[in-house]
Structure 1
């Protein structure tokens, strides 16, 4: 991937700017997908823009459309390969939200019946104490 990139937008210390082409599962002009190196489930994929930027809200309209296209392709890929029972799709934006690599990436996480004791609430569980709602 990196040989196809504009050298002005590549960040040498970024693990998503240095990608082994053999890891790429799905690719278009603006984004690519690969398996997460630290998966939380079988089939955990990352959808990553080729341009280096940290925040989803910095993405161009075209990049957002490309992300959605690859998310749809990723779902088909995961369904055909792993037959999961469900999916979580999520983006961490900023350190307070858990972002550790400051290059935008979207998690597509395959979910399986029984993988957690009580999956109700899904991504609401990122703040476990408030998973079932609360007053502010």
Structure 2
């Protein structure tokens, strides 16, 4: 059983047809949200066409929820697919990471480096 299958209902910020949203337990920045598949699917490439079609709406919903409490200047949206790509929980999840001016010295490269020192846990 994946750790995502043990998440209490009260921790879910929003529920769609195929996914739910939660705050990341190890946030890179304030407001960091995960979009998690209801069914255990290993990564983006294992999602059905129906699930893939719903995902953009949930990215927008995550952005909306983040902006209710935080005032980011930008966003990183990312998925790690496979262990060698950095995936540690083999259950589909998409990161919606708010970014803030001066949260790192040089943001060039975007998701390649995200926020220095925050990519590891």
User: Structure 1 length as normaliser, TM-score?
Assistant: 0.80
User: What are the superposed Cα offsets for residues 84-129 of structure 1, whole Å, 9 maximum, x if unpaired?
Assistant: 1110000000011000000010000010001000001201337xxx
Indicate the structure whose relative CO is greater, using CA pairs within 8 Å and at least 6 residues apart: 2
Q: Matches of 1:112 and 1:125 in 2, distance apart?
A: 14
Structure 1 CA distance for aligned equivalents of residues 56 and 14 of structure 2: 12
Give 1:27's aligned residue: 15
SS in 2 for 1:108: strand
Unaligned runs of 5+ in 1: 1-11, 127-136
The SS at the match of 1:72 is helix
Aligned to 2:119: none
**4+ residue stretches of structure 1 with deviation over 4 A?**
none
State the alpha-carbon separation in 1 of the partners of residues 107 and 51 from structure 2.
31
Any gaps of 5 or more consecutive residues in structure 2?
115-121
Among candidates 72, 76, 97, match of residue 88 of structure 1: 76
Distance 2:20 2:57 in 1: 10
Equivalent pairs counted in the alignment come to 114
* Alignment partner of 2:89 out of 80, 84, 101: 101
1:120 aligns with 2:101: no
Select the residue among 51, 59, 62 that pairs with 2:50: 62
TM-score by length of 2: 0.89
Give the corresponding residue for 1:4.
Answer: none
Q: In angstroms, what is the RMSD of aligned CA positions?
A: 1.2
